[in-house]
Structure 1
């Protein structure tokens, strides 16, 4: 693959953690504006070099960073503009709601401390019990309207989701499908590590799925119940939902790339200990939630031919999910023990192989050791010719590098048959100085001819004003 070198053009600096980067044309305007959703709840707008606050949702966002030493995966996680936003002013938000903090699904135990023990079956078949009291927080998906008078109005709540842990809620979690016109919601497996309750594989669970929402159907339910399973939803809401995929660990959104008369879809799945993965698919057969619920009530097997299955928790990318047992003298020789043999077998024939994988340890000189995938976008522009038609992705921080920390930008080639593809690191000509630069988000404009990179100087949400947004340029 070609070696690509780019520069970063500063767009805005000294903002909070930039989690979502999108463009849209404001009603009455003639050109696209860049919108930046920050984790703490501000939605900023950049137009002609000027920065202003589009909407401040911070009072509606859960208090962040309190019990986790400043690190958090909750907050304002999704922003999507209706395809006809210019005409109707509709947009959609996904965020962790204020006042909903709970003790967690395993009260008294740090969520990151869970590891399955293949010698102890009790750790392989845990159940999430007492969900009404044992949960971490509630995420909500809402419809908002920018009215002709310039004021904002909340239209309706689409979903209220009870989440077991603070992590794996998804990020950049909302987009509109150019194929179906529906709102797409990507949800993580609910958190902790190793998906302790196997939510991503349970067809009844909302966690660990990619879901399409038909926002054009009016459910007439102003405040839906707080739920964790599809069968807990009222029938009118069930009728608006279809499920595209399951087996999601955590996901920084889904991207669509037009190719002649069809769309390639790309989804990045954040890994556990070994590998980060980008998947691609063209055709899929969604399952209406009403069918899913009926099959569950009858204890019947669903026809899942054409349904997308990413393999988690039995598979971490191209590998059966493993537990690392350390070799203190040489971490490169850490023992890797299969965590969930039965899960790996059950998912082996149905899972979708990754398009591209990159690893937390990689001895190849032209690769890198990754930490966590933070963005996947398609580039269809001409200004960076070697990237045209490619899939660009970001990792938050290169493993093993000396401080200050740096993120990584890389790309892979689209494969129309979705065959596995290698990747290449993109060299960035920019001096961040002594400041750390975690690459926390990646965005594009409406026709995918521009790329935007969100960078933060810290991974602690309490460290304010350390965020910047850049345009990636030749």
Structure 2
């Protein structure tokens, strides 16, 4: 077994690759960006231009169409969807998309119809829109925002406590109009900070997820020119907020601005990083809790959009260790998770969805 140490990413090449394969689930999609499952319903795929399609075998049916609202493409588009924890009773779900004016919009739907806009955030540039949404085990909605774009965070949003950009936001969609700020958000008593801010110092969080068993949070943050990273927040979220993940002072574990002798005090380093010899744009995934591949249970699955590599990471007792799981030729825009904990891979370039399965 070949051992490679690259940018702090310990890779045991092909350790699991012989035991994992990809099974096609859907093809013929238009720029797919995300997969999830409607509670009690079908798998859903988000297309960047603004359609949500339901999958049933080889059949695809239109579940929602917001193309008239959405600005596409590049890093803009329909970027995220999250179902309310009580969806079975209240039929509430939430979208994150770029509107026709280039702004980030968080919108609530009820019974398939638009109900209200929760939040609109101006975007100074066309890239780094973030875009993901996820409900935490605490029932609050987590909104990951990019730093506003261009390169290097020229307007300093990620470290600016008065800006919602470059942050992880945490809001209560069950109180307030249109929402309330949880009382245990870390900066509610600090007038310098927007109270919605739960964590800061992010460049462009491209997919994050909560481990369905432990409640731990994993955030994949896309790097600038050299380093991609995974940030980690242990449960419970009520006592873990307020962390600063370092951008644009740091890129991964390395000084960015300034390039040397930067001030690291108070910054939380990533648990994993890899250099641009391994890829160029990280895509976050899920801790595997399915049954199809027992060897993967408890491993965090993530990949890279540019290189098509898929890794699995575990805590070994004193550090996080990653293993190369698959080498593909896919443009991995997202991973997805179904109700059973099985994990899917979304291929943006090829317009397809695959399921991780035992190799045959």
Deviation at 1:50, TM superposition (A): 2.8
**Corresponding residue for 1:456?**
348
What TM-score do the two structures reach when normalised by structure 2? 0.85
Alignment size in residue pairs: 332
Alignment of 1:238-257 (within 5 A): 242-257=196-211
Question: Is residue 91 of structure 2 the alignment partner of residue 89 of structure 1?
Answer: yes
SS in 2 for 1:244: strand
- Do the aligned partners of 1:169 and 1:191 also contact (CA within 8 Å) in 2? yes
Distance in 2, Cα, partners of 1:357 & 1:96 = 29
Distance in 1, Cα, partners of 2:33 & 2:299 = 22
Distance in 2, Cα, partners of 1:275 & 1:444 = 26
**Corresponding residue for 1:299?**
none
Q: Which of 235, 242, 245 in structure 2 is aligned with 1:307?
A: 242
**Corresponding residue for 1:54?**
63
- Do the aligned partners of 1:169 and 1:250 also contact (CA within 8 Å) in 2? yes
- Larger helix share, 1 or 2: 1
Which portions of structure 1, spanning 4 or more consecutive aligned residues, are displaced by more than 4 angstroms? 283-287
**Corresponding residue for 1:124?**
none
Question: Is residue 4 of structure 2 the alignment partner of residue 4 of structure 1?
Answer: no
**Corresponding residue for 1:460?**
none
- Do the aligned partners of 1:286 and 1:307 also contact (CA within 8 Å) in 2? no
Alignment of 1:142-181 (within 5 A): 142-146=107-111, 152-171=112-131, 173-178=132-137, 180-181=138-139
Distance 1:193 1:220, change over 3 A: closer
Deviation at 1:456, TM superposition (A): 2.8
**Corresponding residue for 2:9?**
none
Distance 1:220 1:7, change over 3 A: closer
Q: Which of 219, 222, 236 in structure 1 is aligned with 2:177?
A: 219
Distance 1:386 1:423, change over 3 A: same
- Do the aligned partners of 1:24 and 1:32 also contact (CA within 8 Å) in 2? yes
**Corresponding residue for 1:76?**
78
Distance in 2, Cα, partners of 1:340 & 1:158 = 38
Distance 1:176 1:88, change over 3 A: same
SS in 1 for 2:88: helix
Uncovered stretches (5+) of structure 1, i.e. residues with no partner:
26-30, 66-71, 101-136, 147-151, 222-229, 232-237, 288-304, 322-337, 362-368, 399-406, 431-435, 458-465
Distance in 1, Cα, partners of 2:34 & 2:311 = 19
Deviation at 1:385, TM superposition (A): 2.1
- Do the aligned partners of 1:244 and 1:284 also contact (CA within 8 Å) in 2? no
- Larger strand share, 1 or 2: 2
Distance in 2, Cα, partners of 1:285 & 1:144 = 26
Distance in 2, Cα, partners of 1:165 & 1:281 = 29
**Corresponding residue for 1:291?**
none
Cα deviations across residues 238-261 of structure 1 (Å, max 9, x unaligned)?
7xx6322100000113211145xx
Distance in 2, Cα, partners of 1:90 & 1:17 = 25
Cα deviations across residues 52-84 of structure 1 (Å, max 9, x unaligned)?
11001111112x34xxxxxx1011111001111
Between structure 1 and structure 2, the one with the greater Rg is 1
SS in 1 for 2:216: strand
**Corresponding residue for 2:183?**
none
SS in 2 for 1:77: strand
**Corresponding residue for 1:382?**
291
- Do the aligned partners of 2:34 and 2:333 also contact (CA within 8 Å) in 1? no
Cα deviations across residues 320-353 of structure 1 (Å, max 9, x unaligned)?
11xxxxxxxxxxxxxxxx64558x31xx121112
Alignment of 1:87-166 (within 5 A): 87-98=89-100, 100=101, 137-146=102-111, 152-166=112-126
- Do the aligned partners of 2:136 and 2:215 also contact (CA within 8 Å) in 1? no
